[in-house]
Amino acid sequence: MTTLNNTILTASEIDQKLTRIAYQIYEANVNESEIILAGIEANGYILAKKLKTKLTKISPINPVLCKVTIDKKKPLNPIRTSIKAEDYTNKSIVLIDDVLNSGSTLIYGVKHFLDVPLKQFKTAVLVNRNHKKFPVKADFKGISLSTSLNEHVQVDLKDNDWKAYLE
C-alpha cells in the first residue's frame, strides 16, 4: 500500500517523463527509418509499448516492439526475444526497463544483443538508482534517485493509475 509521502512519480509525471524520453530517442535516431524498442518483460515492455505510441505521434520513425525475457534471478539463463536476431541486425536498438538498480538485468540484456552487428545501442529506464554493480548506464532516464541500499523502488504499471514509489 502506498501513501503520498513515498510516491516518486505519479501517472501524469510518468507520462511526462516518457514523452521526454521519446523525444530524446527521436533526436538520437533522427536519420533512422526504423528502430527496435526492446522492452524487458514485464514493466520494461509496457514502457516500450507506451514509447512506441509516443514516437509514432512525434516522428516518422517506425518503432518495432521487441519483448525481452530475462530470468532476473538467474540472468545467465538463455535470454529470449520476441523477434529474430536477423530482424534487429544492423538496426538501432533501445533497451528499456523500469528501474536501473544494480545494473545486472540491463547488462545481461545488452550482452544478448551484442551477438549481432548493430547500428546503435542505447538504454532507457524510468527510474535510475545509483547503486550499480556493473558498468552500465541509462542513456535516457525519467528520474535519477539516490536512495539507501535497503530502500526498494517499485513501479506499478497496472491499469491507468501508473506510479513509482519507495518501499
**Separation of alpha carbons 108 and 106, rounded Å:** 6
Q: Which residues have a Cβ under 8 Å from the Cβ of 73 and sit 6 or more positions away?
A: none
Residue 1 in this model has a pLDDT that exceeds 80: no
Q: So what's the pLDDT on residue 56? A: 98
Does residue 3 lie in a domain region?
no
- Is residue 26 a part of any domain in this protein? yes
pLDDT in tens, 96-121: 999 998 888 999 999 999 999 999 99
| Residue 27, pLDDT score | 98
Q: Which domain holds residue 139?
A: 10-166
User: Within a domain: residue 115?
Assistant: yes
- The reply to whether 5 falls in a domain is no
pLDDT tens across 31-50, in order?
Answer: 999 999 999 999 999 999 99
Question: What's the number of domains the chain is made of?
Answer: 1
Q: Would 2 be classed as within a structural domain?
A: no
Residue 2's pLDDT band (cuts 50, 70, 90): very low
